[in-house]
Amino acid sequence: MSTETVTETGYPTVNLYIAGEWCQGGGGQTAPVVNPATEEAIGEVPLATTDDLDRALAAAEEGFRTWRDTPIARRTAILHRAADLLTERAAEVGRIMTLEQGKPLAEATGEARRVAETLRWHADDARRAYGRVIPSEPGTLLTVRREPVGPVAAFTPWNFPAGGPMRKISSALSAGCSIIIKASEETPATACALVRCFVDAGVPAGVLNLVFGEPAEVSAHLIASPITRLVAFTGSVPVGKLLAAQAGQVMKPTLMELGGHAPVIVCADADPVEAARRAAQAKFANAGQVCTSPSRFLVHESLYENFTAEFVKAAEAVAVGDGLTEGTTMGPLANDRRLAALERLTADAVKRGATVRTGGTRLERPGYFFAPTVLTDVPADAELMIEEPFGPIAPIVPFTDLNEALATANSLPYGLAAYTFTESAATAEYVTRALEAGILSVNHCGGSVHEAPSGGVKDSGYGREGGPEALDSYLITKRISHRLGAPAV
């Protein structure tokens, strides 16, 4: 893998990728990249200027014409080759990811391998983007075609440095679009490593462009350009609403995968110990920095103490440390902003009467480490019950009536993921029909899979990533009515 290392830790040089060339950009401005496990700068990320962005836009416009007209079999072969390269490089990509994002090495390497499969799935699914022939009057041929929407501007966060960009890149390129991806400045080298796989696989210049920069400036410039035909974003609800409004001003379609505050309803007939084990495993994955992370635990009063005791046991068994250290099962938070947010949410809950059953504090060591935390007696008006924690905090509250729990679960403006535990198929069907969410899991808290759609309702966004629905935003539907002349006989 052709990456230039600049530190003894092996962190590579970060570049922009524009019009088929790796470059530092024209402005010479950079920002530090920090290892969250040590709080030390390990590299720099170049920040694009408006001239750099204009070059990327021009490249994407030209690249789209090239890629759109590339035969689908050739496109698919190139994308499969990129997936093969990513699989081969997964261990190295995982190490880079751990250095800049903090998650345990096994999680990071697994993420790299998993998104290679995402690319393979989307590349194959694009071959099934069928149109149709509609019965019509004699002499008229009425058809529908699915065609790529055009150049895409995509924006991704830091919590899944490989998964976030790959969802956008794989869908765009599989559909025949070009793309400019603005990945996170906090985890830039992983994005570079992904792009190198596509470059080395033979994706033509201009089809895939990678930029970093001041987020508000980059997004405003790319969205306003007439070259951009779709805006795809994963991130917070406030930023998503801002970008959607900007796109609406220039009539650009958008794909919005925004935040949530996922409820977990543990029904009276569930196994409280098994439910707690599965829920805790999901809660502390990636240090809780997952938009679908279970974050509000509503437990029937008859199971409450047993569930809480097992959850506390699981939290205290989490091995917190540097993601490169063998045996670590939870790394640091990604940045100091998350630390401050978790300290604020915990303090507010305690002030309002909550009890800290375990954790609740920053660990006294270098790095952005926060202890796995379980809170009980959390009142409904605590900020933790209203604001997505995006960290390893689990508020557990009892309920007596299932409809009461459902009302609580649906009371927030979010609707991304939701979970329930029950031994009754009838209860599971009742709960899943009642919950207002785009992703639901019964008797587990599993994550997204590439063969099925993921996305939210209400303030959690619209559009879907994964499954056959993933290509919908990247394709336009064109109706063709062809009035035929008299046949030559």
Contact 307, 415 (CB under 8 A): no
pLDDT at 479: 97
Contact 290, 259 (CB under 8 A): no
Q: Which residues contact 174 (CB under 8 A, 6 or more apart)?
A: 75, 76, 79, 119, 122, 123, 125, 126, 471, 474
- Tell me the percentage of the chain whose pLDDT exceeds 70: 98
pLDDT at residue 358 is higher than 50: yes
For residue 266, what is the enclosing H or E element? strand 262-266
What's the pTM?
A: 0.95
Give the angle 284-110-45 at the CA atoms, nearest 5°.
85
Q: Which single residue is written with the structure tokens 């990249």?
A: 33
pLDDT confidence band for 352 (50 / 70 / 90): very high
The amino acid that residue 43 corresponds to is: G
Q: Which of 143, 148, 140, 142 is nearest to 132 (CA)?
A: 143
Contact 247, 223 (CB under 8 A): yes
- Tell me the percentage of the chain whose pLDDT exceeds 90: 96
Q: Which single residue is written with the structure tokens 């007939």?
A: 269
CATH 3.40.309.10 residue ranges of the chain are 262-442
Distance from the Cα of residue 281 to its chain's centroid: 19
Compute the distance between CA of residue 82 and CA of residue 224 in angstroms, rounded to an integer. Answer: 31
- Calculate the dihedral angle through the C-alpha atoms of 60, 65, 69, 72, rounding to the nearest 10 degrees: 10
> Looking at domain 262-442, which of 3.40.309.10, 3.40.190.80, 3.20.20.70, 3.40.50.1000 is its CATH number?
3.40.309.10
Query: Around Cβ 69, how many Cβ atoms within 10 Å?
Result: 8
Q: What is the pLDDT of residues 71-127, one digit of tens each?
A: 999 999 999 999 999 999 999 999 999 999 999 999 999 999 999 999 999 999 999
Q: Which residues contact 400 (CB under 8 A, 6 or more apart)?
A: 300, 301
Compute the distance between CA of residue 294 and CA of residue 264 in angstroms, rounded to an integer. Answer: 6
For residues 317-332, give the mean pLDDT.
Answer: 97
Q: What is the pLDDT of residues 49-63, one digit of tens each?
A: 999 999 999 999 999
- Burial label for 327, CB within 10 Å (0-12, 13-18, 19+), is exposed
* Residues tagged active-site: 257, 291
- Burial label for 383, CB within 10 Å (0-12, 13-18, 19+), is middle
For residues 135-163, give the mean pLDDT.
Answer: 97
Q: Which residues contact 447 (CB under 8 A, 6 or more apart)?
A: 282, 285, 290, 292
Helices and strands per DSSP (H, E), number in the chain: 13, 22
pLDDT at 485: 87
Compute the distance between CA of residue 475 and CA of residue 150 in angstroms, rounded to an integer. Answer: 8
pLDDT at 3: 43
What are the DSSP calls for 370-416, one per residue?
B--EEEES--TTSGGGTS---SSEEEEEEES-HHHHHHHHTSSSEES
Q: Which of 192, 419, 436 is nearest to 290 (CA)?
A: 419
Q: Which single residue is written with the structure tokens 């390129």?
A: 173
Q: What is the pLDDT of residues 252-264, one digit of tens each?
A: 999 999 999 999 9
pLDDT at 1: 36
pLDDT confidence band for 11 (50 / 70 / 90): very high
Retrieve residue 472's tokens: 């919908």
Q: Classify residue 454 by its DSSP letter.
A: B
pLDDT at 7: 57
- Burial label for 237, CB within 10 Å (0-12, 13-18, 19+), is buried
pLDDT at residue 2 is higher than 80: no
For the chain, the distance separating the N- and C-terminal CA atoms, rounded to the nearest angstrom, is: 61
Q: What is the pLDDT of residues 395-446, one digit of tens each?
A: 999 999 999 999 999 999 999 999 999 999 999 999 999 999 999 999 999 8
pLDDT at 165: 98
Question: If you average pLDDT over every residue of the chain, what do you get?
Answer: 96
pLDDT at residue 244 is higher than 50: yes
CATH 3.40.605.10 residue ranges of the chain are 16-258+460-478
Contact 329, 338 (CB under 8 A): no
pLDDT at 6: 53
Query: Around Cβ 387, how many Cβ atoms within 10 Å?
Result: 16
pLDDT at 256: 98
Angular region, 378: left φ>0, alpha ψ -120 to 50, beta rest: beta
pLDDT confidence band for 9 (50 / 70 / 90): low
For residues 367-384, give the mean pLDDT.
Answer: 97
The architecture (CATH level 2) of 16-258+460-478 comes to 3-Layer(aba) Sandwich (3.40)
Packing angle of the helix pair 105-125, 90-101 (nearest 10 deg): 120
Q: Classify residue 260 by its DSSP letter.
A: -
